[in-house]
Amino acid sequence: MNTIARRHFLSQLSLASAAVATSGFGFARSGKPDEFIEVEIAPGKIKGVRSDGVNIFKGVPYGGKTSGDRRFRRPAPLQPWTGVRDATQFGAPAIQSPRRNEPAPSEDCLFLNVWTPANDNKKRPVMFYSHGGGFVVGSGASPGQDGANLARNFDVVVVQTNHRLGLLGFLYLDEIAGADYEGSGNMGILDIADGLKWVNENIAQFGGDPNNVMIFGESGGGAKTSCLYAMPATAPYFNKASIESGPGVRMTTKETAAETTAMLLKELNIAPKDWRKLLDVPAADLLVMQAKLPFVAPFIEKNNNRVGMQRNAGGFGPVVDGKVLPHHPFDPTAPEISRNKPLLVGWNEDEYTFFAWERKDTETFKLDFDGLKKKLEPKYGADTDKMIETYRKARPDASAPDIFVAISSISMMGLGSVDIAEKKSKQNQAPVYLYNFGYKSEKKIPGTDYALGTPHAMDISFKFNNEIAPRDGSQPKESFFGGNKPERFVASHHFAELWTTFARTGKPAAKDVPEWPAYNLKDRATMRIDTKCEVINNRFGEELAMWRSIGEV
């Protein structure tokens, strides 16, 4: 695929995820608290609430100051407190545009949230989620990923963090700022590592097992999980992982990160030797400057030979600095450091419809096959005819818009997911399981008669079991993406049960779902998750053979 074209898709990850992160998703929050719950952790006592059978602790600090003299550095030590600290309200998210129903964004954003059935010393599996939003927006308080239903219905503990994002989380200063700023290009991902360390030290007080921790994340959170899977700093603190619609095969190189830093300094009229002036620029001004830089997603492309290849400067995300992130997460191989940790990886069947919705793209859904070729040629060049021929043969009943959605969706999230599954399988150690989420929403893309199907980000509310009939018997509300059909509750239960069973045992399984074989290079088993789940061997085999033939897998 043309590199710039694919970057354009990937660059929508952060902007589009922002729309989801602030949308509210339209499911019911927990009711009034039944009682307050106190628990003592290392820095002091905190007070959460018990609501509808779940103990909920919000805005729990897991790190100290990251503003002032700690900007671009490791956090200050977390200071103990006296008395009982309130943990009934969400903590501040990282610097970004204001978020609905959350505190004002702040540089000091190291807070986490915990949902648990009980603080009873029972050793439940822990599900540690990294939010989406690329590496520039989002928080652990996004309503679609509320952890109460997972905790209540599947007896697990759910943890989610806020962490530094964007320029304040990933500005690479290692080469100009000295030893105190070593790892500066990875502060945001090191914050998540600190959250995992907090879990290791404190989660037993919340009924969780510190020796049975699953990390998972969607979109940008999937890319974060890819990095965590490859980092020495996190290796002692988790046992299994899931990368969802965000295959972080490659991250930013030091050279590209240094170029981005130089661009920023030039825009601010700061000489490299005067880099300390960055410490005095108000965070709001840095956010404005971040938006002025060329926005590209922090992924490095596989195919460097296509026309129009250019360096990927301008975006902010984890940096392959040789220390914090020793190498690309899944290039050239799956990380040796996690060879014994089971992995889930996959994507949604109609990822692109989300981006069409977000960008108000209606023209795509008027295409005929001549128009399809014209639309694809600038991106795929001489490979266009072969691509269309392959997809029309594999999907004889597909319309031109159907084929565009299929090509765009697999190129954005599917090829990297398959690449990860293949490389993990080649280790012949812990298993890897490949999936496609396929429940179809009937909701239409505004301005068209084309259904969303299974768009990017729709999996969030499903896997958190937040597509569920109201317990009071009232009429269900329409789901933000999932629509109105009651069968969505079945698909959500399947998804959530598969994920929580994987968290518990390292093997995904659920009632009324076929046994899910590990992926291997012979059968290439893929679980399609829907109201009725099925295992499909070598799914998209013809299409993937074509992608391989043009060097994209």
Residues labelled as active-site residues: 219, 351, 456
Q: How many angstroms separate the CA atoms of 146 and 91, rounded?
A: 15
DSSP one-letter code for 457:
T
- Sign of the Cα torsion 138, 72, 321, 268 reads positive
Asked if 208 contacts 126 with a C-beta cutoff of 8 angstroms, the reply is yes
The three-state (H, E, C) secondary structure of 393-412, written as one string: HHCCCCCHHHHHHHHHHHHH
Burial grade of 472 (CB within 10 A; 0-12, 13-18, 19 or more): exposed
Asked if 123 contacts 213 with a C-beta cutoff of 8 angstroms, the reply is no
| Closest residue by Cα to residue 248 from 220, 269, 272 | 220
Pairing type for strands 44-51 and 35-41 reads: antiparallel
Asked if 97 contacts 139 with a C-beta cutoff of 8 angstroms, the reply is no
Output the CA–CA distances (angstroms, integers) from residue 539 to 144, 392, 546, in the order listed: 29, 16, 13
Give start and end residues of each alpha helix (H) in 171-304: 174-177, 187-202, 220-228, 254-267, 283-292
Q: How many angstroms separate the CA atoms of 488 and 481, rounded?
A: 11
Q: How many angstroms separate the CA atoms of 160 and 114, rounded?
A: 7
395: left (phi over 0), alpha (psi -120 to 50) or beta: beta
What is the per-residue burial (b if ≥16 Cβ within 10 Å, else e) of 298-313?
bbbbbeeebeeeeebb
447: left (phi over 0), alpha (psi -120 to 50) or beta: left
Residues forming beta bridges with residue 320, ordered by sequence position: 253
Q: How many angstroms separate the CA atoms of 320 and 256, rounded?
A: 10
| Closest residue by Cα to residue 189 from 54, 40, 325, 365 | 325
DSSP one-letter code for 273:
G
Q: How many angstroms separate the CA atoms of 310 and 411, rounded?
A: 19
Output the CA–CA distances (angstroms, integers) from residue 96 to 18, 184, 280, 335, 452, in the order listed: 10, 19, 18, 32, 28
Q: How many angstroms separate the CA atoms of 103 and 356, rounded?
A: 30
- Please provide residue 423's backbone torsions phi and psi, each rounded to the nearest 5 degrees: -70, -40
